[in-house]
Each structure stands twice: as structure tokens, then as C-alpha cells.
């Protein structure tokens, strides 16, 4: 994709985020007071079985499973885009997102929010260069069956956004999306590729569900398709402990 147009899309979605730990987070929720858990009873005697976050990794642990900068040696870490819910869990939320808004979200690094189902914990990092090439990775942990709901929501968005407009700088571009399932990868996985006949390059987005965890990667390549997103997503899946999800 064009350096200017793709990078502007990400900047707009992350405007004002700076170095905040929850910059452009995919949670859509609010932080829970340390020591509390969403949906837990008032008493301290609530059993672990009643705690929807029991066994889930928090943001700090998820961050430890993200790929290091050496995984993308041609890019540099972007310190202005770091997502991490930290040691506490966030209260998950559900968002009703219109088709046009969902399609528009696919133009930025927080495209995962288009599914509308927020996680309980998350961690993500971004890598880019001066030419507009960019790799973003995120790990999300969900309560109960919410990970399956979120990937289902994203699959629906990918299907509905096969052709959509992107307007920037007063010019509207027609974006085209191709989607395909990735059988045999995690519990379920899907890949989408966004391109435009008016822009060079493309962006590939990959989502893998492993139990209650979602792996999300996107690679915006100014001269190619961004197919590295799938290779990097596979590497992330291998890093997850078997019992993590």
C-alpha cells in the first residue's frame, strides 16, 4: 500500500495514544481495580470455577509471548504503539459496529476491534520503517466462549467488506479484500488480504484461535502482499504454552 495513505490510517486510529499502555487497545473495556475480577461476587469466598478469568494469562504474561524485534529484522520497534492491559484484567465489552465502521477499521492496526467482542487481557507491539512497511502483533485472552465469538465476528466482517471505500486526504480509494480459512492452524484460523488497484502493495491480516486466546497479526507491505503475517502468526502460535488457552 502507499506509504502515506496506509500510515495515515493507522495514525488516525491511534491519535493521542502516545505511550499509554492501552493505546489503540482491542479491549473496548475499562480497567478493573487490582485484585478484583469482572463478574465476581462481593465476597472473597467465590470459587475459582466461578471466576471467568481463572486460568487466563494477563497482559504482562501475554507480552512475554510476543515475538521479539529479531523476528522482523527489516523493521524497527515503534514505541508509540504498545498495547498492554498489565497485571489486572479489563471488563470485557460488546460493541455494536456498523458495516461501514467495521470496514474502515480494517485500514488500521486496531482492526481486531471490528469483531465487536472485547477480551479480558491483551498485549500488542508494532514495528515499522520509514517507507511505511509495518507489522503489528497482538495476543488477546477472552473469558468463556468469547474468543470464538470474536473470531466469528471478524470472519463476518471479512466477508461483508470484500469491497469498501477508504477516503484520505480528500481522495477515495476502492479497497478489495480476499479472505480464506486456514484449516489445521490452531482451533480455527482465517486470513484476509486487502489491496487497491490505486495503491501499491497490500496488507495481510491473520487471526488464529487457540482455546480462549486469539493471535492477531497484520503486515502492511508497500511492495508486496504482506504474506509475512501468516509466517509470524505461526511463530506466535508455537510460542503459546499448551495450557495457555
The string of pLDDT tens digits covering residues 193-224 is: 999 999 999 999 999 999 999 999 999 999 99
What cell was used for 221? 507491505
Distances (CA, A) of 92 to 117, 122, 125, 193: 8, 11, 21, 28
| Per-residue confidence band for 24, with pLDDT thresholds at 50, 70 and 90 | very low
Model confidence band, residue 242 (pLDDT cutoffs 50, 70, 90) = confident
Q: Rounded to an integer, what distance in angstroms lies between the CA atom of residue 154 and that of residue 238?
A: 22
SS3 147: helix
Long-range contacts of 44-52 (CB under 8 A, 24+ apart): 52/120, 52/143, 52/144
What cell numbers appear for 63 in the block? 507480552
Distance from C-alpha of 119 to C-alpha of 142, rounded to nearest angstrom: 5
Q: What's the pLDDT tens digit per position in 138-168?
A: 999 999 999 999 999 999 999 999 999 988 7
- At residue 26, the pLDDT reads 41
Query: How sure is the predictor about 36, in pLDDT bands with cuts at 50, 70 and 90?
Result: very low
**What SS3 string covers 7-73?**
HHHHHHHCCCCCCCCECCCCCCCEECCCCCCCCCCCCCCCCHHHCCCCCCCCHHHHHHHCCCHHHCC
Contact 232, 71 (CB under 8 A): yes
Report how far residue 6's alpha carbon sits from residue 169's, in angstroms, rounded to the nearest whole number.
12
Average pLDDT score over residue span 79-100: 94
Mean pLDDT on 1-23: 34
pLDDT band at residue 85, thresholds of 50, 70 and 90? very high
* Residue whose grid cell is 496488507: 203
Amino acid at each position: 500500500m502507499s506509504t502515506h495513505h496506509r500510515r495515515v490510517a493507522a495514525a488516525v486510529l491511534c491519535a493521542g495514544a502516545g505511550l499509554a499502555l492501552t493505546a489503540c487497545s482491542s479491549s473496548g473495556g475499562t480497567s478493573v481495580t487490582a485484585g478484583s475480577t469482572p463478574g465476581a461476587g462481593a465476597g472473597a469466598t467465590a470459587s475459582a470455577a466461578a471466576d471467568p478469568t481463572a486460568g487466563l494469562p494477563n497482559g504482562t504474561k501475554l507480552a512475554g509471548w510476543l515475538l521479539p524485534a529479531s523476528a522482523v529484522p527489516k523493521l524497527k520497534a515503534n514505541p508509540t504503539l504498545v498495547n498492554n492491559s498489565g497485571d489486572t484484567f479489563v471488563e470485557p465489552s460488546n460493541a455494536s459496529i456498523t458495516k461501514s465502521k467495521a470496514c474502515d477499521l480494517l485500514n488500521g492496526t486496531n482492526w481486531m476491534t471490528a469483531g465487536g467482542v472485547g477480551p479480558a487481557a491483551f498485549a500488542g507491539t508494532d514495528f515499522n520503517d520509514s517507507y511505511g512497511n509495518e507489522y503489528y502483533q497482538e495476543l488477546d485472552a477472552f473469558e468463556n466462549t468469547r474468543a470464538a465469538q470474536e473470531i466469528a465476528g471478524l470472519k463476518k466482517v471479512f466477508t461483508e467488506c470484500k469491497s469498501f471505500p477508504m477516503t484520505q486526504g480528500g481522495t477515495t480509494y476502492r479497497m478489495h479484500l480476499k479472505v480464506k480459512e486456514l484449516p489445521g492452524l490452531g482451533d480455527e484460523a482465517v486470513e484476509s488480504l486487502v489491496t487497491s488497484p490505486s495503491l501499491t502493495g497490500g496488507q495481510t491480516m491473520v487471526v488464529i484461535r487457540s482455546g480462549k486466546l486469539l493471535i492477531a497479526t497484520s503486515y502492511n507491505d508497500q511492495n508486496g502482499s504482506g504474506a509475512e503475517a501468516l509466517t509470524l502468526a505461526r511463530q506466535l502460535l508455537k510460542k503459546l504454552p499448551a495450557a495457555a488457552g
